[in-house]
Amino acid sequence: MQIQGSKWLVTGGASGMGKHFTLQLAREGADVAFCDLNEEGIQAVIAEGADLPGKVVGFSCNVADSESVNKLVADAAAALGGLNGIVNNAGILRDGLLVKKDRKTGALKVMSDKAWQAVMDVNLTGVFNGARAFAEYHVANNAGQEAVIVSISSISRHGNMGQTNYSAAKAGIVAMTKLWAGELARYGVRTGCIAPGFVRTPILEAMKPEILEKVTKPVPLRRLGEPQEIFLGVKFIAENGYFTGRCLDIDGGLVL
C-alpha cells in the first residue's frame, strides 16, 4: 500500500513521535486524522499541517475508553472519506520499582495500583481499542482491500528496571500484533509493530546533558534515534505487502 493517496489515523498525534508520524504521512500525500487529549496541541498540529499535500484533521479522544475510540474511528473515516491504516502510538509512563526500600528509614514503597492500571489502560488497552475499532470498520466497509495496523511497542518490552507496567504493556503489543496477523489476513489487513529505542523527543531533550549522556552511552551507535527513523519503519510496514505479524526493532543496536 502506497502512502500517497492513503488515509490514516494516528493516536497520540499531538506531540513527540505521534506528531511526526501525523505530519510526515501528510507530507507524503496521505490524508491523516489524529487524536490526543491536549486540545492546544491538537490545534497546533492542525495549523502546522494546513499547507501539506495531505489533509490533516484532529480529534480529542481518550484511547483507554472503547466507546470514545469507536466514535473516533467513525469520525475519522467520515472526515477523510475512509481509512486504510492506523498507527497506535498513544502511550504514557508511570515508572517505579516493584518494591523499593528506603535506605535510611527502611520504609517500603511499591508500584501503586494506579500507576500499573494507568499504563495498562493507555498503552495496552488503548492499542487493543484502536485495532479492534479499525478492524471492525474495515471488515464492515472495505473487506478484501488492503489495510494496515501499525502499533508502537518499545525496546522496554524485553524488561527494563523500573518499568514493570510499561514493559508488560509493550510486550503485550508484540503478542497481539502476531496473533492479529493470522486473524485478520483473510480480510486484507496486515499488522506490524515497531520497538524504538531511545528517540529524540521533547521528554528526552529536556534531560540534563549528563543524564542524556548516560542514556546514549550503552547504544552502539552512541546517539538517540530520530523520529524520522522510526517513521521509516511505519512506511516500510505500510508499503511492504509481504510484511505482517512482526516487530521491527529500531534501537541503534541497544540491548537491555
Instruction: Assign 104 to helix, strand or coil.
Output: coil
CA angle (46, 206, 88) in 5-degree steps: 45
Active-site option among 137, 166, 187, 242: 166
- The closest of 173, 205, 33 to 91, measured between CA atoms, is 173
Long-range (24+ apart) CB contacts under 8 A made by 48-55 are: 48/23, 49/22, 49/23, 52/23, 52/26, 52/27, 53/26, 53/27, 53/28, 53/29, 54/25, 54/26, 54/27, 54/28, 54/29, 54/30, 55/26, 55/31, 55/80
Instruction: Assign 95 to helix, strand or coil.
Output: coil
CA angle (161, 165, 169) in 5-degree steps: 115
Q: Quick check: is 166 catalytic?
A: yes
What lies within 8 Å, CB to CB, of 12 at 6+ separation is 18, 35, 36, 63, 89, 90, 91
Residues carrying an active site annotation: 166
